[in-house]
Amino acid sequence: MRTLLPLPHHCERVSIRRLRPSDLRAFHAYRCDPEVARYQGWSTMSESEAAAFLQEQNSASLLEPGHWCQLGIATRSDDQLIGDVGVCVAEDLEQAEIGFSLGAASQGKGFGNEAIRAVLDLLFMHTPIAWVTAITDARNAPAIRLLGRAGMRMTSTVDSVFKGEPCAEHVFAIDRGEG
C-alpha cells in the first residue's frame, strides 16, 4: 500500500509533518530526556544516530504495511518540533498501531491530544484500516489520560516485561466509526 498522506496537516495549534534533518536539536533533546524516555520502546540515540534517523524518516515511505514510520508534531505558529507520532499499519491493512513522544515542555498543554486526534483522522481518511490501537504502561497516567481524551477506549490490560521489568500494559483502541 503506497499511501500519500497530505502532509503537512495543519490543526489549530500543531502541524503533523515529516521529520526532517533540521529537527535534530529538538528531536535529540526530548529523545534524550529520561522522563520522556521512561515508558518509550525506543532507546536514546547519539546525535549522529538521531541525524541518520531523521534523514531516513524524511524520505521513508509512509504507512508501508508492517513498518513503523515517525511523523513530526510541530507547533503551527513557528514549525518547531515538539514531538513525534509513530505509526505502523498491519500487513493485512485492517489495523494500525500508534505511539507518541512529546517533549516535557510541551506536555500538559493539549498539544498531544490535538496531534493524536489529527493522526487518527488522517489514518481513517486516507487508509482502509478499520481500527487503531495504542499500548501504554499502566503506570503512565498522563498517556492514559491523553488516549482517553483523544477518544480511544481501554480494551484490555496485559502482563508484560518492559525494559527488563515486569509491568502491566493497557491496550487502547478506536474504530473507524468512533474516529
* 161 domain-assigned: no
Kindly state whether residue 78 falls inside one of the protein's structural domains. yes
| 1 pLDDT more than 60 | no
Encode pLDDT of 138-176 as tens digits: 999 999 999 999 999 999 999 999 888 999 999 999 999
Q: Is residue 177 part of a domain?
A: no
- Assess if residue 143 is contained within a domain: no
What are the residues whose beta carbons fall under 8 Å from the beta carbon of 56, sequence distance 6 or more? none
Q: How many domains does the chain have?
A: 1
CATH of the domain at 70: 3.40.630.30
**Could you tell me the residue range of the domain that residue 75 belongs to?**
9-130
Residue 157 lies inside a defined structural domain of this protein? no
- Structural domain contains residue 76: yes
Mind listing the pLDDT tens digit for each residue in 20-65? Answer: 999 999 999 999 999 999 999 999 999 999 999 999 999 999 999 9
147 part of a folded domain:
no
Cβ–Cβ < 8 Å for 135, 97: yes
Instruction: Answer whether residue 50 is part of any domain.
Output: yes
